Amino acid sequence: MKQTISVLVENQAGVLNRITGLFSRRAFNIESLAVGVTDDKSVSRITIIVDSGNNVVEQVEKQLNKLVDVIKVRTLEEKNLIGRELIIIKVSATTKTRQDISNLCQIMGARIDDITSTSMTLELSDTPDRVDLFESLLRPFSILEVARTGVIAVQKGSGKI
């Protein structure tokens, strides 16, 4: 089962290294990991998606908590989180296919960032499921390049971790 762990850490050199090192040496598998600074410049938020049972996730949480650079750890409830991922995708596009791709973008709420005589570069920010869907719908047009950020997430409501 995919679970989303939100981690607040000291925004310092080497912290990410300590976290990823912990995952590899404890044999925990990371599905995705996204990092960015928060409103407090000294704190970064790392959103980690792991595909493991509850016991493993609980152990991941505890091991993360042992790191001195980790300020807070919380596993977000699936039904109670807002999770988004950004994809930037470059596809082959000719005058023949441009309109179809453009339609797809409109339906999915994606943006066209760049266009050339042979390609289009698109972006979409959405739930990972819809990002997957968007990517699969574009596959027939021949994908040239994909970059995805991995999910970032916060919990719903006024609460914070």
Partner 1 sequence: MLSGAQVLMESLQREHVTHIFGYAGATICPAVDALAAADIGYTLVRTEQNAGHMASGYARITGKPGVCMVTSGPGATNLITGIATAYMDSIPMVAITGQVQSYLLGRDIFQEVDITGAVAPFTKHSYLVKDAGNIPQIVKEAFLIASTGRQGPVLIDLPIDIQKQMVEPHYPDSVEIRGYKPSVKGNELQVRRVIQAISAAHRPLLCAGGGLFSAGGQADLEELAVTAGIPVVTTMMGLGLLPTDHPMNMGMIGAFGTPLANVALDTTDLLIIAGARAADRAISAPREIARRTKTVHIDVDPAEIGKNMFPTVPVVGNVKVILNQLLARHPKADTTDWLAELQPRRRKELQNTPPHPRTVGVDPAALMRGLGGWLDENACVCVDVGQNQIWAARYLPLRRGRFLTSGGLGTMGYSLPAALGVKVAQPERQTVVVCGDGSFQMSMNELATLCAMGADVKIVILENGVLGLVNQIQHSSYSGPFGVALTGSPDFSAVAAAYGISCGTASSNDELDKALDQMFGSPGPYLLTCTVDPDASTND
Residues near partner 1, by CB under 8 A? 9-10, 14, 17-18, 21, 25, 55, 58-59, 62-63, 65-71
Query: Of the two residues 15 and 93, which places its CB atom closer to partner 1 in the complex?
Result: 15
Query: Of the two residues 26 and 156, which places its CB atom closer to partner 1 in the complex?
Result: 26
Query: Of the two residues 10 and 135, which places its CB atom closer to partner 1 in the complex?
Result: 10
Query: Of the two residues 10 and 31, which places its CB atom closer to partner 1 in the complex?
Result: 10
Query: Of the two residues 38 and 136, which places its CB atom closer to partner 1 in the complex?
Result: 38
* Shortest separation between residue 116's beta carbon and partner 1, angstroms: 39
* Shortest separation between residue 30's beta carbon and partner 1, angstroms: 17
* Shortest separation between residue 9's beta carbon and partner 1, angstroms: 8
Q: Is the dihedral of CA 69, 72, 78, 79 positive or negative?
A: negative
* Shortest separation between residue 26's beta carbon and partner 1, angstroms: 10
Beta bridge partners of 123: 88, 111
Listing DSSP states for 5-69 in one string gives: EEEEEE--TTHHHHHHHHHHHTTPPEEEEEEEE-SSTTEEEEEEEEE--HHHHHHHHHHHHHSTT
> What length does the chain have?
161
Using DSSP, how many helices (H) and how many strands (E) does the chain show?
4, 9
In the three-class reduction of DSSP (H, G, I as helix; E, B as strand; rest coil), residue 150 is classed as coil
* Shortest separation between residue 2's beta carbon and partner 1, angstroms: 21
CB within 8 Å of 30: residues ≥ 6 apart: 20, 23, 48, 49, 50
Residue type at position 15: V
